């Protein structure tokens, strides 16, 4: 039966809300299929505002992959701001997709991609507005299957009561497999109802269904056992890994936002995974092994995407883009190809030891020369050994001096505060490093108008990293160290230099809540629901976040169970402790992670295994593969003719 659009009910409300254009859909390259012509229907949600969610690469890829299947439909939905939420409740308008404005409750699957745990309350809002029962146990086969993905899905236990399933890792092949299961189940007449559908997903070994696993707890609050509670369900769930990125050249037609978004560019993922071994970095750990996209694959994606979108900037994305084995050739040949077209290239923050000035010049050749961004992460050499981020201050000074000498005027440095074993002195050395950057830049450039911006985030220990056992630093200590750092930057002795140093940081309170949600277990779910019922929305936004709301809910829901906010955050774990995610396999050996945690405490570094012998982290044997690196030796020839306004034609590839 066809599902009707709710837009006739929504449209009269839009003049009464801020940024109504974010709810109307119709973006360039959006897809709207006929409901009755499809068998499997997905709603894909990024649980944040449209301006943050639309550029999200993961959702955009899955949206396109699914819609390429003839009998599968995929539409997008984002979190609605409180002003529209209020009106929707008053007028009975359900949560809707921006493509066909169809109600979420009509879809087979609701896939929610979590980049951060602070989006959990927004998911509850969407479920409630859609008329979908909050608790998975209360849903019938007439409700969508709520599926969590993204980095936070590697520990979905805090939201286990509210989701039906979770997928760990890459989604491209997983969503196709799940669609096949739904199609077959429907064709057979929906045997066994919702329970059978979820069982079929679970028995693949790559879909986690929380209700099929039971937790028991010890009197002291620790987890005693975790295990499946029925046959056909595996003991552990494995992550999904897409190995051949060239076989998945998505997005082919990037969505072009109607409203302002956080990234106004076309993005191409040039490789996945990272083996640098930064101990704080969950993304680097859970996305192993390294898989590079070939130079010709990158070139073809950029050409197709620019033709389809009209963007003037191309972001070459990965966890450490300058580590691509052919990054120099990629940037040079792309700059050659698009010279005269006003098409600029950009990289995200770059490791100092993988950066050179030639690379920077190629990136800025056709676009504007913006600031350079580096991430030393720690202020002292000692703390950088602890976190395995071995960037020497000498190397940083040499790199930024070369940049300032070549005409750059702005450098941004990223750091973290609250790292394991950190002292006040480790943080205060950030001030001295920033001042040395300004001093060296003035010498190199002969100018005094250069700037350095220091951006600092609070450290949150994450699952599946060597720091998953670490005690999180309490907010008061983080805030105290940041105050001392600001005083050091602005000290009278160096005031002329301090004026050229900008500081951006958040207080430690949101980080401690993120820590609760990151390493919590199923008992934390009641806290999330209590915060949501008390008005919690958009917790990733400082103007909406309420620390008091979270601490009040944590005290009310956790302390009667013998645990607390501090128990989940500022407590160090032991080697023997059962962790809430131990049954979810990221491919990393737990013993290897523990050994690396001990190396961190001993301030011992570990090399990048792309260029050294294997350290036996466990990923490659688990995946049945080796690290995939170049160089391929292939080249891109410039497209001809080239010039402002010239059409971009098919790439010409040549062997060396």
Q: Residue 363 — very low, low, confident or very high, per pLDDT cuts 50/70/90? A: confident
Say whether pLDDT at 167 is over 90: yes
> Residue with structure tokens 């001990």?
598
Confidence of residue 584 (pLDDT cuts 50, 70, 90): very high
Query: pLDDT value at position 651?
Result: 35
Peptide bond into 521 cis (omega under 30): no
Contact (CB, 8 A) for 539 and 511: no
pLDDT of residue 181: 98
* Residue-wise pLDDT tens digits, 516-567: 999 999 999 999 999 999 999 999 999 999 999 999 999 999 999 999 999 9
Instruction: Assign 354 a pLDDT band (cuts: 50, 70, 90).
Output: confident
pLDDT bucket at 645, cuts 50 / 70 / 90? very low
Q: Which residues touch 532 (CB under 8 Å, ≥6 apart)?
A: 121, 124, 125
The widest CA-to-CA distance across the chain, in whole angstroms, is 78
pLDDT at residue 95 greater than cutoff 50: yes
Least confident stretch, 367-371, 601-605, 635-639: 635-639
Please answer whether residues 273 and 325 qualify as being in contact, where contact means their C-beta atoms are separated by less than 8 angstroms.
no
Dihedral over alpha carbons 131, 134, 138, 144 (to 10 degrees): 60
What is the average pLDDT across 171-191? 98
Mean pLDDT for 81-100 is: 98
Note the pLDDT of residue 627: 58
Half-sphere exposure of 197 (CA within 13 A, CB side): 27
Q: Give the pLDDT score at 368.
A: 64
pLDDT per residue over 24-71, tens digit each? Answer: 999 999 999 999 999 999 999 999 999 999 999 999 999 999 999 999
Check: CB of residue 291 under 8 Å from CB of residue 297. Answer: no
SS3 state at 8:
helix
b/e map 588-626, b = 16+ CB within 10 Å: bbeeebebbbebbeeeeebebbeeeeeeebbbbebbeee
**Position 616 confidence tier, pLDDT thresholds 50, 70, 90:** confident
Of 128, 146, 59, nearest to 532 by C-alpha is 128
Residue bearing the bigger pLDDT, 197 or 327? 197
Residue closest to 375 by CA, chosen among 314, 457, 449: 457
Integer Cα distance of 512 and 92 in angstroms: 36
Q: What is the mean pLDDT of residues 238-261?
A: 93
Segment among 158-167, 330-339, 546-555 with least mean pLDDT: 330-339
Asked if pLDDT for residue 643 goes beyond 60, the answer is no
The mean pLDDT of the chain is 91
Closest CA to 290 of 249, 250, 245: 245
pLDDT of residue 628: 62
Which pLDDT band, with edges at 50, 70 and 90, does 655 fall under? very low
pLDDT band at 355 (very low <50, low <70, confident <90, very high): confident
Q: What is the pLDDT of residue 625?
A: 67
Alpha carbons 262 and 506: distance in angstroms, whole number: 19
Give the pLDDT score at 648. 40
Taking alpha carbons only, the member of 420, 452, 457, 441 closest to residue 599 is 420
Q: Let me know if 235 is exposed, middle or buried by CB neighbors in 10 A (0-12, 13-18, 19+).
A: exposed
**Residue 106 pLDDT grade (very low, low, confident, very high; cuts 50, 70, 90):** very high
Are 575 and 590 within 8 A, CB to CB? no
Helix axes 525-533, 120-130, angle to 10 degrees: 60
First to last CA, the chain: 57
Indicate the Cα dihedral angle 295, 301, 307, 311, nearest 10°: -90
- Is the per-residue pLDDT at 638 higher than 60? no
CATH architecture of 6-238: 3-Layer(aba) Sandwich (3.40)
- Nearest in space to 299 (alpha carbons), one of 349, 336, 347, 264: 336
Mean pLDDT of 348-356: 74
pLDDT at 1: 63
Q: Which residue has the higher pLDDT, 320 or 123?
A: 123
Residues 374 and 408: their CA atoms lie apart, in Å, by 14
Burial of 504 (0-12, 13-18, 19+ CB in 10 A): exposed
Residues 499, 519: Cα–Cα separation, whole Å: 39
Residue 652: pLDDT band (50, 70, 90) is very low
Mean pLDDT, range 330-334, rounded to an integer: 90
Give the lowest-confidence range in 206-220, 416-430, 441-455, 466-480: 441-455
> Predicted confidence band at 653 (pLDDT cuts at 50, 70, 90)?
very low
What pLDDT, on a 0 to 100 scale, did the predictor assign at position 36? 95
Higher pLDDT, 573 or 636: 573
Report whether pLDDT(493) > 90.
Answer: no
Please tell me the least confidently modeled range out of 3-12, 257-266, 537-546: 257-266
Q: Is the pLDDT of residue 271 over 50?
A: yes
In a 10 Å sphere around its CB, with 0-12 CB exposed, 13-18 middle and 19+ buried, how is residue 348 labelled? middle
Q: Does the pLDDT of residue 639 top 60, yes or no?
A: no
Per-residue model confidence (pLDDT) at position 89: 98
Q: Are 202 and 174 in contact (CB under 8 A)?
A: no
pLDDT range class, residue 391, cuts 50, 70, 90: confident
Between CA 122 and CA 348 the distance in angstroms is 27
pLDDT at residue 642, rounded to an integer: 40
Rounded to an integer, what is the distance from CA 191 to the centroid of its chain? Answer: 37
Of 344, 355, 350, whose CA–CA distance to 317 is shortest?
350
How many whole angstroms separate alpha carbon 82 and alpha carbon 333? 47
pLDDT at 600 over 90: yes
Q: How far apart are CA 166 and CA 141, in angstroms?
A: 18
Tell me the per-residue pLDDT of 365-385, one tens digit each, with 9 for 90 and over.
Answer: 766 666 788 899 999 999 999
């Amino acid at each position: 039966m066809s599902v009707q659009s709710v837009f006739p009910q929504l449209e009269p409300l839009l003049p009464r809300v801020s940024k109504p254009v974010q709810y109307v859909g119709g973006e360039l390259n959006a897809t709207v299929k006929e409901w009755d012509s499809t068998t499997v229907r997905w709603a894909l949600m990024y649980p944040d505002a449209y301006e943050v969610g639309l550029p999200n690469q993961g959702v955009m890829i899955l949206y396109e992959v699914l819609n390429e299947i003839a009998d599968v439909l995929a539409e997008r939905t984002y979190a609605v701001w409180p002003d529209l939420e209020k009106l929707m409740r008053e007028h009975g308008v359900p949560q809707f997709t921006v493509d066909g404005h169809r109600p979420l409750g009509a879809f087979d699957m609701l896939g929610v991609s979590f980049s951060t745990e602070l989006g959990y309350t927004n998911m509850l809002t969407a479920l409630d507005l859609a008329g979908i029962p909050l608790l998975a146990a209360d849903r019938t086969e007439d409700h969508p299957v709520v599926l969590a993905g993204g980095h936070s899905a590697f520990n979905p236990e805090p939201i286990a009561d509210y989701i039906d399933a979770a997928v760990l890792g890459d989604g491209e092949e997983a969503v196709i497999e799940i669609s096949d299961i739904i199609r077959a189940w429907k064709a057979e007449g929906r045997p066994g109802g919702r329970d059978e559908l979820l069982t079929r997903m679970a028995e693949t070994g790559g879909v986690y269904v929380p209700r099929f696993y039971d937790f028991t707890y010890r009197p002291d609050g620790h987890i005693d056992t975790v295990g499946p509670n029925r046959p056909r369900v595996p003991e552990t769930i494995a992550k999904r890994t897409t190995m051949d990125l060239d076989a998945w050249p998505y997005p082919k037609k990037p969505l072009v936002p109607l409203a302002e978004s956080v990234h106004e560019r076309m993005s191409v993922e040039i490789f996945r995974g990272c083996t640098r071994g930064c101990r704080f970095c969950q993304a680097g750990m859970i996305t192993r092994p390294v898989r590079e996209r070939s130079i010709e694959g990158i070139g073809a994606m950029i050409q197709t995407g620019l033709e389809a979108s009209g963007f003037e900037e191309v972001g070459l994305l990965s966890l450490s883009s300058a580590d691509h084995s052919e990054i120099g050739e990629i940037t040079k040949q792309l700059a050659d190809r698009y010279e005269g077209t006003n098409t600029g290239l950009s990289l995200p923050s770059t490791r100092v030891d993988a950066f050179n000035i030639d690379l920077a010049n190629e990136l800025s050749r056709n676009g504007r020369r913006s600031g350079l961004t580096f991430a030393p992460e720690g202020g002292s050499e000692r703390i950088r050994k602890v976190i395995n981020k071995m960037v020497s201050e000498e190397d940083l000074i040499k790199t930024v001096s070369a940049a300032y000498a070549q005409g750059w005027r702005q450098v941004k440095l990223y750091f973290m505060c609250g790292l394991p074993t950190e002292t006040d002195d480790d943080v205060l050395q950030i001030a001295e490093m920033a001042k040395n950057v300004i001093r060296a830049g003035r010498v190199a450039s002969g100018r005094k108008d250069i700037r350095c911006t220091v951006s600092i985030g609070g450290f949150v220990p994450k699952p599946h990293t060597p720091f998953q056992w670490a005690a999180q630093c309490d907010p008061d200590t983080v805030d105290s160290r940041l105050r001392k750092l600001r005083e050091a930057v602005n000290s009278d002795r160096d005031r002329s230099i301090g004026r050229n140093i900008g500081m951006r940081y958040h207080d430690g309170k949101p980080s401690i809540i993120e820590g609760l949600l990151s390493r919590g277990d199923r008992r934390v779910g009641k806290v999330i629901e209590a915060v949501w019922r008390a008005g919690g929305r958009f917790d990733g936004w400082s103007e909406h976040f309420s620390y008091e709301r979270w601490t009040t809910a944590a005290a009310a829901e956790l302390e009667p169970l013998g645990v607390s906010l501090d128990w989940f955050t500022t407590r160090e774990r032991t080697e023997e402790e059962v962790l809430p995610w131990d049954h979810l396999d990221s491919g990393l050996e737990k013993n290897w992670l523990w050994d690396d945690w001990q190396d961190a405490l001993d301030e011992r570094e570990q090399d990048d295994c792309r260029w050294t012998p294997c350290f036996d982290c466990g990923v490659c044997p688990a995946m049945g593969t080796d690290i995939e690196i170049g160089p391929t030796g292939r080249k891109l020839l410039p497209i001809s003719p080239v010039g402002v306004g010239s059409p971009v034609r098919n790439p010409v590839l040549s062997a060396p």
